[in-house]
Chains A and B, each alone.
Chain A
């Protein structure tokens, strides 16, 4: 379909993307459970995906959607490895608390 966008519609999509980004951001900082932290990063990915696709659709450029495919790929890879590491950490300290792994300090 050769339907075109209005700029304000694009703004709407971008605001939604920004909202998801900001909320995921807040969640990443606030939650202490490691797994929920990673879920919030995935939330940020969602926001980014919406932004990519919206702007790509605005310019009828499909690179946006291609970017989303790659985001998906990377998110999957990262999730796999992150969860493997979380499992190992849990085995070591028997907790999922992010504050229990605070050795990276002065």
Chain B
């Protein structure tokens, strides 16, 4: 605390980099502590039953402080630093040690992540202060406490210097997500969704825990820099570690798939839309779901150790993207569509990681955070204003309504970025990924690339389906389910006010401006990709940055990499250049379809659907897409039902065998024994007398003849001993 004050007073008006470096950066710990302070103060508000918007103010101030500190940190950044906050786990014994301190590892990758996490966190807290105003006094404080917990955990995850702090943050964000999805806990569907999110995440967490253990047992440490040191040391060769180094990437992958909603474990994300919209925007679009991507980028060198780890990531990502896009095309709830769109875009990021462009994935994370946040927030504003109406069949022409213009146009910005319209941020980030799919040679990557391009077209279609239906066309609206008894005919939509509009504008601007970093010139030689590439380069994931030369020597130093990097092409043309045009064309095709079916001729969409349903050959397509390819039902049938039956069997076993036979049986023993002896208590004095005297006589006999009895027993045991001796001699003499 004193050091912070001294550094603040000593700060002159000159660039701060000269002051802060190499001075101690322990004030950076406040980035972590501010959300915690906010949590404590919100707890106090809850205890004092505060009925105003004070919790929102507290949270915004604390998160804003975190953001400012991040900016200061970024400003003064020159090289990776470790900032020790306090000693946490220090377990040493003969032959080993487990050290995991509460320390912050600040390199450029961390800063990249922290910038948009804290920035979006603050903005969404401001948005939520107006959005959640219906609940002031009822759950308002709980909401902001949840947001604070979430940001503390996310900061821990991103800024920790060892895998244990990452795990702490991982579990923390999982918990915060559960708490916030279940915010409307009186609704059974919300509670079920919260449980589903937590449980599906847990499956991934198992992978993470096992991976951390294997990493510790293979490398002897869980700190990132020490792992890198081991990997780069001279003693490292292809046979290092045995089977564990091949298992580690798959376990980490499992964890990332759980948290970032990829193919087998994505089912929780659509249901998580039961939570309030700011939660969906913050957690399930911008920050928490990128934790999986962050994990893989952080441990990128470990993924290079197995031949098929990265291709697996790529294929899973690509298939997820395709699947989610097809489902999104057939949904009617706009928040659900956005959720599936998130899953699809996350699939893109994993695809990028798999085709060894960590730069592309990180850039897509950055841009996606902005435009997906703005899309969710506009959906929230619509929900807020139309009493919960989210069905795109019942809303239309919003941009012509008074007070809804900002919402409509910021949504347009978001849709353009998502669809990859030329010269938006999403265009550049998606191109980086798509191009690399053709550049890197790997198992089936070309097919994957064409699938990804097709998915981009689908993305453009369903995104503009939403916009053309909701914001364009004739004005029509119906109130939703949260009308609370008002008359339907006299319903007036509730236009958003300052806080919501302000935040929407800021984030939309951010989405547009996120294209700019692409054009920032690179300082490091041979690097291209702009500012993001710079940020990623200074981290262990630098192998995925375009322009980094990975020659044979370096590849061998890092383990086995069996696929060549950087020599493919598409249709004979260099992929990067070709992709500019291909993705633009595909995007326009998608937007064109959306324009036709959902603006000019809306009935054509219903007729097409009817024709598909009528014909037996194609009936399955719309029904399957509308029912999300029955994935949830498959899970219930294959996993949940057997477990349910097993649980019933065990409960019967527990009730009849363990409770009945063992516990009650043993408890019944004294009763049975007592029944044997109960007749002794028969009230007849003479029988009591017989018992007494008989006992006394027997005891006296025993005492009188005790010496003889002892002699007899001794003679018996002597007889036994002699028998044993005889047997032994007999056996030995055989």
With CB as the reference atom, state the residue of chain B lying closest to A99.
Answer: B684
Q: How far is the CA of A32 from the CA of B687 in the complex (A)?
A: 11
**Cβ of A7 under 8 Å from chain B:** no
Residue count of chain B within 8 Å CB distance of chain A: 10
With CB as the reference atom, state the residue of chain B lying closest to A34.
Answer: B685
Instruction: Report the minimal beta-carbon distance from B314 to chain A, rounded to whole angstroms.
Output: 80
**Cβ of B693 under 8 Å from chain A:** yes
Within 8 A of B (CB), among A19-52: 25, 28-29, 32, 37
Q: Is the CB of A105 within 8 A of B681?
A: yes
B-side contacts of A29, CB under 8 Å:
686, 689-690
Q: How far is the CA of A12 from the CA of B678 in the complex (A)?
A: 43
Partner pick for B683 among A25, A28, A32, A104, CB 8 A cutoff: A104
Q: Is the CB of B685 within 8 A of A103?
A: no
Instruction: Report the minimal beta-carbon distance from B684 to chain A, rounded to whole angstroms.
Output: 6
Q: Is the CB of B682 within 8 A of A102?
A: yes
Q: How far is the CA of A101 from the CA of B682 in the complex (A)?
A: 11
Q: Is the CB of A98 within 8 A of B684?
A: yes
A-side contacts of B693, CB under 8 Å:
25
A-side contacts of B686, CB under 8 Å:
28-29, 32, 37, 98
Within 8 A of A (CB), among B125-182: none
Q: How far is the CA of A29 from the CA of B689 in the complex (A)?
A: 8
Instruction: Report the minimal beta-carbon distance from A79 to chain B, rounded to whole angstroms.
Output: 17
Partner pick for B682 among A25, A32, A37, A105, CB 8 A cutoff: A105
With CB as the reference atom, state the residue of chain B lying closest to A102.
Answer: B683
Within 8 A of B (CB), among A37-86: 37
Which of A37, A103, A104 counts the most B-chain CB atoms under 10 A from its CB?
A104
Q: Is the CB of B685 within 8 A of A104?
A: yes
User: Binary interface profile of B, 673-700, with partner A (CB < 8 Å = 1, else 0)?
Assistant: 0000010011111100110010000000
With CB as the reference atom, state the residue of chain A lying closest to B694.
Answer: A29
B-side contacts of A99, CB under 8 Å:
684
With CB as the reference atom, state the residue of chain A lying closest to B688.
Answer: A104
Q: Is the CB of B689 within 8 A of A103?
A: no
With CB as the reference atom, state the residue of chain A lying closest to B674.
Answer: A106
Q: Is the CB of B690 within 8 A of A106?
A: no
Partner pick for B678 among A98, A102, A106, CB 8 A cutoff: A106
A-side contacts of B683, CB under 8 Å:
101-105
B-side contacts of A98, CB under 8 Å:
684-686
A-side contacts of B690, CB under 8 Å:
29
Q: How far is the CA of A105 from the CA of B686 in the complex (A)?
A: 13
Instruction: Report the minimal beta-carbon distance from B622 to chain A, rounded to whole angstroms.
Output: 79
Q: How far is the CA of A102 from the CA of B689 in the complex (A)?
A: 14
Q: How far is the CA of A25 from the CA of B684 in the complex (A)?
A: 16
With CB as the reference atom, state the residue of chain B lying closest to A106.
Answer: B681
Q: How far is the CA of A50 from the CA of B693 in the complex (A)?
A: 21
With CB as the reference atom, state the residue of chain A lying closest to B678.
Answer: A106
Q: How far is the CA of A103 from the CA of B678 in the complex (A)?
A: 15
A-side contacts of B681, CB under 8 Å:
105-106
Instruction: Report the minimal beta-carbon distance from B569 to chain A, rounded to whole angstroms.
Output: 99
A-side contacts of B685, CB under 8 Å:
98, 101, 104
Q: How far is the CA of A104 from the CA of B683 in the complex (A)?
A: 5
Q: How far is the CA of A92 from the CA of B678 in the complex (A)?
A: 28
Q: How far is the CA of A105 from the CA of B689 in the complex (A)?
A: 14
A-side contacts of B678, CB under 8 Å:
106
Q: How far is the CA of A4 from the CA of B694 in the complex (A)?
A: 37
B-side contacts of A37, CB under 8 Å:
686
B-side contacts of A103, CB under 8 Å:
683
B-side contacts of A105, CB under 8 Å:
681-683
Instruction: Report the minimal beta-carbon distance from A17 to chain B, rounded to whole angstroms.
Output: 16
With CB as the reference atom, state the residue of chain A lying closest to B693.
Answer: A25
Partner pick for A28 among B682, B684, B689, CB 8 A cutoff: B689
Q: How far is the CA of A46 from the CA of B130 in the complex (A)?
A: 108
Q: How far is the CA of A50 from the CA of B517 in the complex (A)?
A: 125
Instruction: Report the minimal beta-carbon distance from A72 to chain B, rounded to whole angstroms.
Output: 23
Instruction: Report the minimal beta-carbon distance from A29 to chain B, rounded to whole angstroms.
Output: 5
Q: How far is the CA of A102 from the CA of B683 in the complex (A)?
A: 4
Q: How far is the CA of A25 from the CA of B678 in the complex (A)?
A: 25
Which of A101, A102, A104, A105 counts the most B-chain CB atoms under 10 A from its CB?
A105
Which of B682, B686, B689 counts the most A-chain CB atoms under 10 A from its CB?
B686
Q: How far is the CA of A26 from the CA of B636 in the complex (A)?
A: 80
A-side contacts of B682, CB under 8 Å:
102, 105
A-side contacts of B689, CB under 8 Å:
28-29
Instruction: Report the minimal beta-carbon distance from B191 to chain A, rounded to whole angstroms.
Output: 54
Q: How far is the CA of A85 from the CA of B693 in the complex (A)?
A: 24
Instruction: Report the minimal beta-carbon distance from A20 to chain B, rounded to whole angstroms.
Output: 16
Instruction: Report the minimal beta-carbon distance from A2 to chain B, rounded to whole angstroms.
Output: 34
Instruction: Report the minimal beta-carbon distance from A102 to chain B, rounded to whole angstroms.
Output: 3
B-side contacts of A104, CB under 8 Å:
683, 685
User: Binary interface profile of B, 650-683, with partner A (CB < 8 Å = 1, else 0)?
Assistant: 0000000000000000000000000000100111
Q: How far is the CA of A103 from the CA of B684 in the complex (A)?
A: 8
Instruction: Report the minimal beta-carbon distance from B715 to chain A, rounded to whole angstroms.
Output: 31
Q: How far is the CA of A32 from the CA of B686 in the complex (A)?
A: 9
Within 8 A of A (CB), among B192-249: none
Instruction: Report the minimal beta-carbon distance from B148 to chain A, rounded to whole angstroms.
Output: 66
B-side contacts of A102, CB under 8 Å:
682-684
Q: How far is the CA of A24 from the CA of B348 in the complex (A)?
A: 106
With CB as the reference atom, state the residue of chain A lying closest to B686.
Answer: A29
Q: How far is the CA of A30 from the CA of B683 in the complex (A)?
A: 16
Instruction: Report the minimal beta-carbon distance from B450 to chain A, rounded to whole angstroms.
Output: 89
Q: How far is the CA of A105 from the CA of B677 in the complex (A)?
A: 13
Q: How far is the CA of A103 from the CA of B683 in the complex (A)?
A: 6
Which of B678, B683, B689, B690 counts the most A-chain CB atoms under 10 A from its CB?
B683
Instruction: Report the minimal beta-carbon distance from A103 to chain B, rounded to whole angstroms.
Output: 6
B-side contacts of A32, CB under 8 Å:
686
Q: How far is the CA of A104 from the CA of B684 in the complex (A)?
A: 8
Q: How far is the CA of A29 from the CA of B694 in the complex (A)?
A: 11
With CB as the reference atom, state the residue of chain A lying closest to B685.
Answer: A98
Q: How far is the CA of A102 from the CA of B724 in the complex (A)?
A: 56
With CB as the reference atom, state the residue of chain B lying closest to A32.
Answer: B686
Q: How far is the CA of A37 from the CA of B690 in the complex (A)?
A: 13
Q: How far is the CA of A25 from the CA of B683 in the complex (A)?
A: 19
User: Binary interface profile of B, 688-721, with partner A (CB < 8 Å = 1, else 0)?
Assistant: 0110010000000000000000000000000000
A-B contacts, 8 listed (Cβ < 8 Å) = A29-B690, A98-B684, A101-B685, A102-B682, A104-B683, A105-B683, A106-B678, A106-B681
> Shortest 7 CB-CB distances between A and B: which pairs?
A102-B683, A105-B683, A106-B681, A105-B681, A29-B686, A104-B683, A29-B690
Binding site for A on B (CB under 8 A): 678, 681-686, 689-690, 693
Known contacts A102-B684, A104-B683, A106-B678, then 20 further A-B pairs from the complex at CB < 8 Å, ordered by chain A residue? A25-B693, A28-B686, A28-B689, A29-B686, A29-B689, A29-B690, A32-B686, A37-B686, A98-B685, A98-B686, A99-B684, A101-B683, A101-B685, A102-B683, A103-B683, A104-B685, A105-B681, A105-B682, A105-B683, A106-B681
